[in-house]
Structure formats: structure tokens, C-alpha cells
Structure 1
Amino acid sequence: MNTKISYSFILKPETNRSGLHPVYIRAFKQGKKTEIATSVALQKDDWSEQKQRVKKKNRAHEKYNAILDAFDKKALKYVLDHFIQEDTPLTLGQFKDYMLSVGQSGESFTDYILNYLNQNRSRLKLETWWSYKSQITKLLKFKKRIAFADITEKFINDYHHYMLRVLGNNENTASKSLRSLRTFANISMRYGYMKQNPFRYINIKKVDGKRDFLTREELGRLSEAYWQNKVADAKEREILRYFLFACYTGLRYSDLKTLNYSSVLENSIQLKMHKTGYLVNIPLTQRAKLILISSQNNPFNSIFRVYCNKVTNRILKQIGRRYNIPKKLTCHVARHTFATISITLGIPIEVVSKLLGHTNLKTTQVYAKIVDSVKEREMSKWDKL
């Protein structure tokens, strides 16, 4: 059972620089207390201890009492909301953070962020800009109008629960949305629209999600379909072509879109990765070279006609079903395939990391964890003792 927070208004015995006594909210829970300053300060004789309000003899009593009423109303609602929800006990720290947002801007948080994104569109990568826009759309499904003062720890936890239970998001998808919301909150604090950091006590989880990849046999099946011209439709053939190229090189979808022949130097690809800006040099295998040869050698044109993500993934899904591959094929599956097969073939993980353009070896080590054949091969060395 929750232990409810109790609170009252008090007049501090100490005076401020103006010689006035400030009014505070004093909150108690289980023998502990915290105090929150209001903007009200007055002479000691102008305070009614019994009514906990400013006496009428003070010229600004209506204004001051309206401020205290706003604090009182907000505190009561917040305490009762948490008292009803026994699974989310309210702490004194959370109560204080929430009460400090009284008087915080009531303007629309989402309108402000959308305006900020539009003003800074040229500074953001296109994919990042669209991702942030989609996160705002998702947020507005949870609540139609969101003010700056609404962004509290409880709001964040409720939104997290909504994504998992109502939208059916997995933990990583929900965490990505929370990280975007945290970015928006940081922007709002930077420009003075929010006073407190609502993410102060929030721990955003990141779990190892399922990474689909093709086995060598499945990759061979798709490769055979391409080279033996079993895929007749021009759009399907082109999508399968750059999907296979990604399997052979580990390139991301965003890099496939901008790849042109000026990046092909002798027997390797040299390019700055779109996502990280990391410069990579990827030696070309025979299969990757054959795919490049199948295009006209025009150094000013893109190597592939890359369709939008939605079309690409829809076509890949159809191809996967046709060739009995029980996995949700995407361009990122191709990148996972390159990583896992490279490790299976015995390529050192440090080399794979460089080829993928990872700046941290830990990112690449995720692939080593999911390749059981490598574990079996390495453990078999014990049998040679």
C-alpha cells in the first residue's frame, strides 16, 4: 500500500534580502520532509497560519493567494493520482520536481519542437529529421496536446507503458522513442522553456534485440536466383541486386543510395559512411565485383537505383517468401549477414569492425555472440590437445 505524501504551506522564520518572509510548501512522507519555495514573500503579520493563506490586509493578497491556490491544486492532484496507482509510489524527490514546474510554460511542447526542427532542418541529416518528426507524431497519439509542464517523470513512465502495452513496441523501439523525447526535453531546457530535467531519475533500457541474418545456404539460394535470372521483374531484380551487394560489403541502406562509381577505386570501395561520417575502405570480393560489372560504368551516376525503404522492404519480403526464407528481410539484414558470415569464415572481429565502420569494437562483438558455429569451431580446438 502506498504511503501518501502530506503537505502544508509554511511561512519561513528567516527573511530574504527584502526583509520579507518567503512562503514554502513543506511535504512529509514516512518521517522525511522536503521544502519547495513559492514566489510569495510577505510580512509576518500578513500570514494566516490557520488558513495558510495571505490575509486581506495585504494589498496583493488576491494575487498571492491565487498563486498558492495553483500550487495547492497541482499538489493535491499529483498526490492523489499516485495514491490511486499503488504500483507507482511517489517519492519526495519526484513531488518536489513536479511542484517546481508550477508557473512553467503552458505553451505547446510539440509545436515548439516541430518549429525547432523546421528551423534547423539544414543542420540535421535527412534521416534524423524525419525520425524526429515521426517521433512527434507518435507522441501525439499518446496525448493530443502536450504542454512543457506536462513533461514529468510520470508522463515519461506512462508513455513508456503505452508504447509497450498499447502500441506493442519492443523494449528497444520504446527506448529509441524515449531517447528522442529526452533530446527534445534537453532542447527545451537549453532555451529556458523547462526548468527541471524530467529524465533525472529515468533509466532508459537497451537490450540486445533479435538480429536476423542469412545463413550461407540462404544467401546462396538468393544469389543463385539472381545469377540464373530467376527474378524476371525489373524492380525486384534491382532490389535483390543491391541487397546482395550489401550482403557482400556490409553497406547500410543510406550508403547504397549515394554510392557511385567515383567511390570505386581499383579493387575496393572508399567512402565516408553517411550515418557516422567514418571513412572506410572495403576490398571487393569477386561476387561484389560481378554485381558492379552488371551496371554501366558511369562515374557520375549512382550504381544502384535504390527504392524507398518501404518499397525495398516490401519487395524483399516477397522474395524471402518465394525462396522459403523464414525471416523478415531488410537492408539491415544484409549488413547483419555480412558481419555474421565474415566471423563464421574466420575473419578477425577487429577487421570486421573496421569493414563495418564501427567506432567501438563492442558494437561488433554482438555478432560474435550469435554465431554458434564459431563457438563450436573454437571449442573443437580442445579436441586437438
Structure 2
Amino acid sequence: MKVTLRQRNQGKKTWFYLDYYDNGKRKTKTLKLFLYPNPKSRTEKAHNKEHKALAEKIAQKEQLTIQARAYGLEDVKKGEQDFKEFLDELIRPKKDSNRGNWKSMKVHFDKFHPRTVSFRQIDRNFVEQFKDYIESTDLEINTKYSYFSKFKAALKEAHLREIISKNPADTVKHLPQEDPKKEYLTYDELQRLSKEECANPLIKSAFLFGCLTGLRFSDIISLTPDSLEKREDYYMVPFRQQKTKSIEYHPIGEQAVSLLPEPLSNSTPFFTGLGKSMSVNDNKILREWIAKAKITKHITFHCSRHTYATLQLSFGTDIYVLSKLLGHKHLQTTEVYAKVVDEKKIEAANKISL
């Protein structure tokens, strides 16, 4: 749609009006602004100058508003907001690895579009171009999926906040995703590792504790003597569901409890000395300890949870029970570990030949 500022003589005044052309159809809108056809005094000349400038600004703004609506923007002012500043706002409150993933996505977005970019500039074609850029990188398939998903999530959030009235990414398909390889330790590898010395005994105890309990790092480092509940020959420990944030209780055995360091007090975490997340140096110590046990797999701290899940299934634990132990909301999430065990069974069966 095109907007044109026009003038019409009526009586002793020249009135301003707007012409709207849309698909061959014409509409008009009269502005309450006019000119004196033959200004004689300074007052009339000043009036003409002021009203003409105002009419031109109204016409420009009207044209911008129409263009903004075509891009799905609520209004011009919102549409001129800086998308990169909005990304920074979304990233700021995020924590740990999730924050790191969002920041990495923004690094790639900056490479794709080094200059500032307003919401008005982001249409479906722009979204498709960023998707093509992500696809062209050497990133892993799931990393590509993750970065593009976060970009789409940012636009969805902008839509929810009514910065844009239409999400330009709604009709753009996600990038493909593949089941991530869940690395874990076999029973023999775990036995070997437990016998090796580690440069940081806290990391060793926490990792082995994770292998025996399946608890996440965040739950392990927050565990205190007060949170342990003794029951006959086992203990119950609380952990927080990551998605629902509800508190669940998890049974752990005597051996796992024996790995817990001596606490400073009943309200002090057992693993005081480890940060809220594994530092670069902590991960280096973990890798060196893994290497000492002649294990060549890429093992991170979270692999302790994968090890727990895989070994539990290998030793015959019902998958539904394991799902509850891991705090999974859906059984399908746990079935990934079952696939790993099935693959190992097939591999073992093929080792025997005549």
C-alpha cells in the first residue's frame, strides 16, 4: 500500500489529505491541516510552513506504519528496537551451559549480520537466510539445531511480549536433529576409574557419587547432611526436577553415602569447594583422571548420570522404575538409554561366530 500527501482547494483554504492506494483501490483521509493560498502576513506564512512540515511528517509516519504492519510489527517505535539488544536481554538471566549456548548462538548471529538489526528488518526471508548460514557452518548437527531453535525462540518471545504482532519464523521449518550420543562408562571402566587417584579428590568423589546415584551436578553440590533421610539400609535425598521445579526424593545406597566428604556442619554442602558449575580447570582434572584409567571416551561430569542409567538397565532395572529414579517426565526420554543397551547386546551377539 502506498500513501501520498495531496492538497485540495476548498473555499479560501488549501486542505491537506492522504491518498491510500492498495491493489488499484483508492481511499482518502482528510487531515485537519491547511494552507493559506496567498499568504500575506508573517503569521500566515509561518502557519503555512508549520502545517506543511507537520502534514509531511504525518504522511511519512503513516507510510512507515503500513510497512511495519507488513513485517508483522505492532508499531513503528517497537519495530525500530534493536534485535541484538533484545538477545542480550534474554541471555542475561540465563545460567550455566544454557547461557553459554545462547551466547554462542549470538556470536554466530553477529557473524551472519555484523551490523545492528531492528525487528522491522527481520522478515521470513531474513529468518531463512540465517537458517542457511547456520546450515553452512561446520557445527555438529545438534548444535546447528540448538542455535537456530534459540533464534526462533527469541522471535517467539518477542511476539509474546507484543514487540511484533506476527512471528516471521512461524512458518520456517526447524533444522534436522539427531539423537545425541550419550557417552557412558562400562562397568569395567567404572571399576578401573574408581581405583585411580585424582588430582582433586572432591571431583573424584562427586563423579563416582553421580555414577552410583544418577543425580545431576547441581543436586550433588547442594546436598547437605540435613537433607539426608536414613531409612533402614538406604537413604533418601531430595532433588529438584529441572523442568517442573518440583522436589522429588531419590533412594541411594550405603556405598554412595560412603563417598560423601566429611561436612563442616549439618547445613553445609558435602562438596563445599566445588563451584556451581565445573570450571575449565575442573574439567581438565576430570579428563586427566579419566585418561589415567586408560579410557579414551569423551567423558564429562554429566556422563556420570548416563553411566548410572545405562548400568541400571544392563543389570535388569525396569525402565519405568529407572524413569522415576532419573526424574524424567516422559518415558521416551529414558528409552534413549534402552537403545544404547540394545545396541551393546547386538554387538555382543555378533562377537560369537563359527
Task: Give the one of 136, 145, 148 matched to 1:178.
Answer: 148
Structure 2 distance, partners of 1:209, 1:116, is 26
Larger Rg: 2
1:287 paired with 2:258, answer: no
Task: Give the one of 21, 24, 38 matched to 1:23.
Answer: 21
Task: Give the one of 28, 37, 44 matched to 1:42.
Answer: 28
Range with greater deviation from structure 2 (214-223 or 173-182): 173-182
Task: Give the one of 310, 315, 329 matched to 1:359.
Answer: 329
Task: Give the one of 118, 129, 132 matched to 1:161.
Answer: 132
1:259 paired with 2:226, answer: no
Q: Which amino acid aligns with 2:235?
A: S
1:125 positional shift? 6.1
Is residue 9–residue 25 contact of structure 1 (8 Å, CA) maintained in 2?
no
TM-score when normalising by structure 1? 0.66
1:268 paired with 2:239, answer: no
1:296 paired with 2:263, answer: yes
User: Corresponding residue for 2:209?
Assistant: 245
1:354 positional shift? 0.7
1:268 positional shift? 2.1
1:178 positional shift? 2.6
1:108 paired with 2:82, answer: yes
Query: Does the C-alpha gap of structure 1 residues 129 and 343 become closer, same or farther in structure 2, counting only changes over 3 Å?
Result: same
Q: Gaps (5+ residues) in structure 1?
A: 1-7, 11-19, 27-36, 44-58, 75-95, 380-385
Higher RCO, Cα 8 Å, sep 6+: 2
1:361 positional shift? 0.7
Aligned residues: 302
1:177 positional shift? 2.3
Structure 1 distance, partners of 2:181, 2:269, is 32
Identity of aligned residues (%): 24
**Superposed counterparts of 1:283-362, under 5 Å:** 283-292=251-260, 294-296=261-263, 298-304=265-271, 305-307=273-275, 308-309=277-278, 310-362=280-332
Is residue 255–residue 274 contact of structure 1 (8 Å, CA) maintained in 2?
no
Query: Does the C-alpha gap of structure 1 residues 176 and 286 become closer, same or farther in structure 2, counting only changes over 3 Å?
Result: same
Is residue 20–residue 28 contact of structure 2 (8 Å, CA) maintained in 1?
yes
TM-score when normalising by structure 2? 0.71
Range with greater deviation from structure 2 (341-350 or 205-214): 205-214
1:67 positional shift? 7.3
User: Corresponding residue for 1:224?
Assistant: 195
Structure 1 distance, partners of 2:288, 2:129, is 37
Q: Gaps (5+ residues) in structure 2?
A: 4-17, 30-51, 350-354
Is residue 279–residue 357 contact of structure 1 (8 Å, CA) maintained in 2?
no
1:368 positional shift? 0.3
- Say which SS state the counterpart of residue 269 (structure 1) adopts: strand
Structure 1 distance, partners of 2:254, 2:155, is 49
Is residue 261–residue 297 contact of structure 1 (8 Å, CA) maintained in 2?
no
- Say which SS state the counterpart of residue 281 (structure 2) adopts: helix
1:275 positional shift? 2.0
- Say which SS state the counterpart of residue 267 (structure 2) adopts: coil
Cα deviation code 1:236-286 (max 9, x no counterpart): x22121111111111112212222222211122321326232433222234
Query: Does the C-alpha gap of structure 1 residues 99 and 211 become closer, same or farther in structure 2, counting only changes over 3 Å?
Result: same
Structure 2 distance, partners of 1:301, 1:134, is 35
1:158 positional shift? 2.9
- Say which SS state the counterpart of residue 359 (structure 1) adopts: coil
Is residue 71–residue 120 contact of structure 2 (8 Å, CA) maintained in 1?
no
- Say which SS state the counterpart of residue 211 (structure 1) adopts: coil
User: Corresponding residue for 2:123?
Assistant: 152
Cα deviation code 1:136-189 (max 9, x no counterpart): 4443343232211233333333333333433x3222222222332233212222
1:196 positional shift? 1.7
User: Corresponding residue for 2:179?
Assistant: 208
Cα deviation code 1:291-348 (max 9, x no counterpart): 02x4237321111132442333222222222222121111211111111010000000
Is residue 251–residue 356 contact of structure 1 (8 Å, CA) maintained in 2?
yes
Query: Does the C-alpha gap of structure 1 residues 97 and 366 become closer, same or farther in structure 2, counting only changes over 3 Å?
Result: farther
